[in-house]
Structure 1
Amino acid sequence: MLGTRVPRAAALAVTAALLLATSACGTDEPEEADTRPVRLYGSDGNMQNSFAAELKDRADLVDGMKGTTPLTRLPESFTNRLRAVDPKLTDFLYAAESYDAVVISALAAQLAGSTEPAAIAKQIVGVTNGGQRCEDVAKCLELARDGQDIEYRGVSLNRAGFTDTGEPATASYATLHFDDQKIDDGKTEFVGAGDESNASTKAPPRARKQTPAVLRDSGAPLVLGGLLPRTGDLALAYPPLAAGSALALREINQAGGVLGEPMVWIDGDDGTNPTVAKATVASHVAAGVHVIIGAGASGISREVLPDVVAAGRILFSPSNTDASLSKVDDQGLYFRTAPPDSLQGRALADVILRDGPRRIVLLARKDSYGEGLQGYVQAELERAGIGDDRVKLITYQPPDSPEAPPVDFGSAAQEIRDYQAEAVLIIGFGESAPLIRALDDAGVRLHR
């Protein structure tokens, strides 16, 4: 499928040219507000099966909605193994990324010959670049125990390794479609993004072969702590994140563990809330956790990172996409397997432009993730010739806590109707679902 698609830059340019030509040659009379139904689009925070349930008795309103998410083609063997961990699993968003984050952490500790976070951190980028390539966890651990440099290729990290800043140099995005209140896998398309040449070429510290002396001084067992959204606005993403982490833990320990002992996992909730997340981080630090897997949301990671760094621990997120985190002051202790939103912005703009809308609304959470991705999509639309006169930006304040009342999207829905929007991109988590109900209540005709 990738080989037959038009390159994204060309597709954007062609689409923009067609749109501008239509505008120039068409009638001077504006169309009535409701002559074209509004198409809904989503991003990684809401393009998953569980999002439909957030609309309750009006779940059918998601039918026709489409969007993008970081996702690679998942091997059936991997999804079957995930379902062995969680038989009720219906989504796989970031499951591969959480699996790879745990595996990379384990391999880095094995190569470092230590559970000391600073020593592990120095090995993480190198685990994914150079050395002998390996894909199977047991084989990778065997090579690492022998002190051999390795190049891990996992489920999500399968084209290139990490950049110097500790994030994927390349990514795969999926275009997803809602039909019959669920994602229609038959319509899913995949497209690559990023540049393999951005992968780090720096050599990590020399790997330490596993010996009795190394094991004695290693500080094993390696302890990982979860900082995943078991509750809060991003709770709909928790099942696949948790399943991926649990599967990696199981397979690592079945392969003999790390530094001679089974790896330990301590569960923890980020609550999609800074207060909850900070309390979890403090608890993990007190419990001797070496690597924290999370947080789920970029904004939460940004809030807790100073605490993690002050404690000398590693924060390794499977789902943070805020591009500005690439430049955060992390003392070399922050990593992620999810790609930055600078790449997703291009993919989303491509999806929207294919449908040829003349008025576009970009509605986003008022936080670093929402406003960041909103800005990247706007920039890509502008690059394709879609100016400010055809794009409207709206932001909303997400709830402060799970107990807070839901967001009132009534005024936003009316604003979208008055603007005569033909496309609405919703950048949010589960809390953004009421916007769709509000649009329906406002009499906005949705594309189905």
Structure 2
Amino acid sequence: MTAPETGVTATGADTGPLRDRVLASLTTARARTTLLTGCVDGPDLTAQHSPLMSPLVWDLAHIGNQEELWLLRGVGGREAMRPGIDSLYDAFEHPRAERPSLPLLAPDEARRYAAEVRGRVLDLLDGTDFHGTRLTEAGFVFGMIAQHEQQHDETMLVTHQLREGPRALTAPDPAPAPLFTGPAEVLVPGGPFTMGTSTEPWALDNERPAHRREVAPFWIDTTPVTNAAYRAFVEDGGYDTERWWTPEGWAHVRRHSLTAPLFWHRDGGQWFRRRFQVTEAVPPDEPVLHVCWYEADAYARWAGRRLPTEPEWEKAARHDPVTGRSRRYPWGDADPAPEHANLGQRHLRPAPAGSHPAGESPLGVRQLIGDVWEWTASDFLPYPGFTAFPYKEYSEVFFGTGHKVLRGGSFAVDPVACRGTFRNWDHPVRRQIFAGFRTARSESV
């Protein structure tokens, strides 16, 4: 099989480029894991900083355990390195709130375990046949593990945002951007487009298969909703006005006394936020962050608009009206580069709205990839013809009305785990994640 989206040949004599890609993806993920677990001391690694999150040391050993299960045992047929720990690091066996009470590996032991697994995996990689099985075809299982580690790295970054105490992480701010003066919204033409993928080698099961979707014409925001725009909703009494909220959302607001995005507080006439242990004025031109689905939906109603559906979001991000084809990314098929999107934890905040003109879609929509995850109106459901692979617990068990789809990635997402077809999902009450949104409206509205 040839993977035209990446330019990597999955079959044939020369698999060097594919091995290089696998190695680079695994190495990048491990460097980030090391940073996130090495910048704090032992007590911060073993503490549970929020009941919504695991202790950082659990994530570290879980990363190693999954790599051992899928690569050393699954591909290499090796014996278990540490019999008996699988259940400790099974995400479905122990809820996050229970994990601090488990007999987890201590920080130094968890580091040694993850490092030993990785050393053996690199030996295994040298001799892996990328043509033998569906699991190894095009290096899929290695790509799955690289994506898994990066997803946990993002989770650990969320834990760092929730953590109290001195600042442990720093990064340069995104480059200043000129004030965006383009149109506030663009029209996405109606008609069919190809949603999902059947050819992206490392796409996960919920992104498959490619299929045709019919979408009516609609308008969508050119940029994500900004802090300044969201502040207008707050100051107009948005959190005190029931008519903007779904019944479930209103009950959630009342139950938890929500008044603004998570980490915001007001001092006198100014709004401030806490970002990685630093308190700063809320920057008006950044995309709003740390809002749940209910808050995004209520803002959209207040603004006389709505959240885009998942098919609408993907069409805005991928559809090229000139050629009729669906691109890998808004800017084309090339892998993300810094000029395209704010990804990979290069920064610890979104870039100003309107940044990255090189990354805009053919229709002129910006920042569809990176900066903030974007809530959509859609429940997380399988595509027509979906088949769970390689295990149903990745996607299938989450399908239904209990989870809403997020798209596009955030500054905390690595490019290996972000593409135009990538689907994220979470409960509509989640606020600690790096999520914002943009709005849409039907053409007739």
What TM-score do the two structures reach when normalised by structure 1? 0.20
* Structure with higher RCO (Cα < 8 A, 6+ apart): 1
Instruction: Choose between structure 1 and 2: higher helix proportion.
Output: 1
> With structure 2 as the length reference, what TM-score do the two structures score?
0.20
